[in-house]
Structure 1
Amino acid sequence: MKVGLIFGTRPEAIKMAPIYHKLKENNIETKVILTGQHKEMLDQVLNIFDIKEDYNLNIMKQNQSLSELTSRLIKKLDEIIKNESFDYILVQGDTTSAFVGALVGFYNKVPICHVEAGLRTGDIYSPFPEEANRKLIGSLTQIHFTPTNITKENLEKENYKPKNIIITGNTVIDALKWVKENKKKELKQIEKKYELKNKKYILMTMHRRENIGEPLKNVLRAVKKYLEKKPNIFLLFPMHMNPNVRDIIFEELKDLKNKILTEPAGYLEFISFMDNCEYIMTDSGGVQEEAPTLGKPTLVLRDTTERPEALIGGTAKLIGTSEQKVLEYMYLLEGDMYKEMSTANNPYGDGNASSKILDVIKKDYDEK
């Protein structure tokens, strides 16, 4: 059996890493095809998890449109997939790389396995282009590895065959537990570097396309108002490299004293940041999944989410980006809401998703 893993961003690499290791442990020929969106951040994750790339397309360039990205990916991936003759191609999540990987795999009649399948907001433009990407990937997929009952139901509503939809949990939990067990020394060093044990802080990330501009400004104004009255609480904000994001952060928070603005955090750094914070404010999807494992309440700075499990389970609150609403929830977290959210059960699995995925692929291959 030969398996191709196609990914290009840091979140994809994190969620693919446990699968990569399971395939290797079982002596399954595995080829890693990097599309190369997040070069520096991606390299960090590859090093942490000891992932060896076989191809790197280095596809990103400045101000590249989605149309140009898609066309370039199609050509480069087609050459590789034709040459390799894979038995399966695995793509993860909802990036354009994942969609094009599934599309080109389909063109070459290679079975597609979609890891983290079935997430939906119901609005094709929110998030953009991710909602469309995951729906399109679904239509090309042979085996849907879906993290929860809700995501399974989403796929069944779209008339995918139940036998092809497998609930596994989310591989991000596998990765997080692996790091907590195998990188204890490194995590301790990060705590010391940033003096995390000596600070009470809120961790914040915000960079989605739909939030750049007024939404980000509104949230930061609320955070500033709150923290100006709480001088002993800090804001820790690892900033995205996008200058449009950074310019707003610098402008809105220039007079706030109790802030820590850092460069984009490495994977180990971010785990340490999450593990030691009071709570998290974010528009990131992956953080919504990781936070419950660490017992951290999460305020989701979006109007929609494709991860309702966290809302239903009580680990996250969808609060939008209005200044008034953000401020309201920051004060609410001073009360009973904090305990309720921090002790809620993790809806995203037990850390064995990659083993379940491997078992299904092996069984499917043996039955052919």
Structure 2
Amino acid sequence: MPLRIMTIFGTRPEAIKVAPIIKAIEEDSQLDNIIVVTGQHREMLDQVTTMFDIVPDHDLNIMSAGQTLNGIVAKVISGVDGILEGEKPDAVLVQGDTSTVMGAAIAAFNQQVPIIHLEAGLRSGNINSPFPEEANRKLTSQISSLHLAPTTTSKFNLTREDVSENDIVVTGNSVIDALLYATNHLEVRFDDPRLEALHRAKTEGRAGRVMLVTAHRRENLGAAMEDIGAAIADLAQRFTDLTIVFPIHKNPKVRSAIAPRVEGLENVLLIEPLAYAHFARALSLADIVLTDSGGVQEEAPSLAKPVLVMRENTERPEAVLAGTVKLIGTHRHRLVDEVSLLLESDEAYRGMANAANPYGDGRAAERTVAAIKWKFFGADRPVDY
């Protein structure tokens, strides 16, 4: 009998990272897929599942306007509980650190279903930053049976918390699998005519430099987000040959902080959020990436893009140590100074663009399937990434 793996996810970043795993499970005759989406992100989640041709077996569709974190978790636990009762999976696979992950893990644990935690062991060292992700991933680690760590640093974090090495496999990060697939196999055309024109000009060598910006973190809402908007405006006015591409998050608090500060600046392309394949293509066009995202810190180094991170700490220190990522906080003048340094100093730019990427080689899904078969079937243990 094949081992029944229930993969549960609810947000766009989770979908991107579990998609290669789901495809690898589908191709293995010893494993069966049961796919559950919670709908914690709706539209952005559906874009990814469509792109990878993933059809959920169950959809909780929990999203509603203005719901609280506790409301999300309560819906996830209750909804997953019923699905577990009906499907009787042999194991549940969750990815990362969202409220979906923590709620699904608790539901599985309470039914004594083994939990496989993909992207396990990330730690910022501050329980409140990022919030609530740092707590979610630590709670999930406490009740997981198999920890799939993306790096040796993540493995060390787990062993320091008394997780047995016998329950950890270092796989690399599956986001690299997804990114390489998207950039190498998917041909996309941008819906926004300004971005499509930039794409053509960049491809033909007619465009100047491009900076891709993303900002959405809960802890950056308010004054910090306003500083980000002001810094973008400062940079656009200082470097008129620089095109700033900013797919702006749908959160009204993000939009009200950013949009008024860049209004009327022709070299700032404030656009709607991009589907994943389109975002991957936009990332390939960029010369510099300015972000507060966790996933982008992993993706951009794979394409040799310097990444400036608008946070005070990160649960992904490997690229900081490698030199391709730099933490710069959210202060307006610091943002302007750090971006300006990369634009004005070839040496500073090359130092970050040429740094090694520590996050993966595009074979994380392969190692994940091997780790599951090792854990549950007694197959050979895969070699750590």
Return the TM-score normalized by structure 1.
0.96
Distance 2:190 2:46 in 1: 22
Is residue 319–residue 326 contact of structure 1 (8 Å, CA) maintained in 2? yes
Aligned position for 1:319: 328
1:63-212 → structure 2 map (5 Å cutoff): 63-183=66-186, 185-186=187-188, 193-198=196-201, 199=207, 200-212=209-221
Measure the CA separation in 1 of the matches of 2:230 and 2:74. Answer: 40
Q: Distance in 2 between matches of 1:277 and 1:367?
A: 45
CA distance in 2, matches of 1:302, 1:115: 24
Query: Do residues 243 (structure 1) and 275 (structure 2) align?
Result: no
Letter in 1 for 2:240: P
Whole-Å Cα distance in 1 between the matches of residues 108 and 78 of structure 2? 12
Distance 2:179 2:197 in 1: 20
Match of 2:353 among 342, 345, 365: 342
- Distance (Å, rounded) in 2 between the aligned partners of 1:11 and 1:70: 18
CA distance in 2, matches of 1:87, 1:232: 56
Secondary structure of the structure 1 residue equivalent to 2:147: strand
Q: What SS does the corresponding residue of 1:346 show, helix, strand or coil?
A: coil
Contact 1:187 1:272 in 2 (8 A): no
User: Does 1:13 find its partner at 2:15?
Assistant: yes
Cα shift at 1:82: 1.3
Distance in structure 2 (CA, Å) of the matches to 1:257 and 1:38 = 31
Equivalent-residue separation in structure 1 for 2:102 and 2:306 (angstroms)? 32
Asked whether 1:361 is paired with 2:372, we answer yes
Secondary structure of the structure 1 residue equivalent to 2:148: strand
The alpha carbon displacement at 1:304 in A equals: 1.1
Q: Distance in 2 between matches of 1:366 and 1:107?
A: 23
Query: Would you say the 8 A contact 2:183–2:281 is kept in 1?
Result: no
Match among 268, 274, 279 for residue 288 of structure 2: 279
SS at match of 1:195: helix
Structure 2 unaligned spans of 5+: 202-206, 380-385
Report the Cα offset of residue 60 of structure 1.
0.9
* Residue 302 (structure 1) aligned to one of 293, 304, 311: 311
Q: Please name the residue that 1:226 is paired with.
A: 235
Question: Equivalents in 2 of 1:196, 1:367: separation in Å?
Answer: 49
Answering whether residue 71 of structure 2 is matched by residue 62 of structure 1, we say no
Which residue of 10, 16, 25 corresponds with 1:23? Answer: 25
| 1:211-267 CA-partner distances (Å, limit 9, x unpaired) | 011111112222222221211112110010011111111111124332101001110
Q: In the TM superposition, what whole-angstrom CA distance separates every residue of 1:285-327 from its partner, at most 9, and x where no partner exists?
A: 0000000111110000011110001100111100000112111
Residue in structure 1 matched with residue 382 of structure 2 by the alignment: none
Deviation of 1:363 after TM superposition, in Å, equals 2.0
Counterpart contact for 2:183–2:277, Cα < 8 Å: no
- One-letter amino acid of the counterpart of residue 340, structure 1: G
Contact 1:59-1:73 within 8 A present in 2 as well: yes
Please provide the CA RMSD for this pair.
Answer: 1.6
Query: Equivalents in 2 of 1:157, 1:30: separation in Å?
Result: 32
1:197/1:276 contact within 8 Å kept: no
Distance of aligned partners of 1:188 and 1:130 in 2 relative to their CA distance in 1, 3 Å threshold: closer
The CA deviation at 1:193 is: 2.4
For 1:100 and 1:168, the matched residues in 2 are separated by 24
**Identity rate of aligned residues, in percent?**
42
- TM-superposition CA deviations, 1:194-222 (whole Å, max 9, x none): 43242332110101111011111112222
Q: CA deviation at 1:332?
A: 1.2
Q: Name the SS for the 1:3 alignment partner.
A: strand
More displaced, 197-206 or 113-122?
A: 197-206
Q: Secondary structure at the match of 1:284?
A: coil
Mark the CA change 1:317 to 1:236 in structure 2 (over 3 Å): closer, same or farther.
same
C-alpha spacing 1:268/1:190, structure 2 compared with 1 (3 Å): farther
> Separation in 2 of the partners of 1:79 and 1:365?
24
Q: Secondary structure at the match of 1:99?
A: helix
Other-structure match for 1:258: 267
Looking at structure 2, the residues matched to 241 and 220 of structure 1 have their Cα atoms a distance apart, in angstroms, of 15
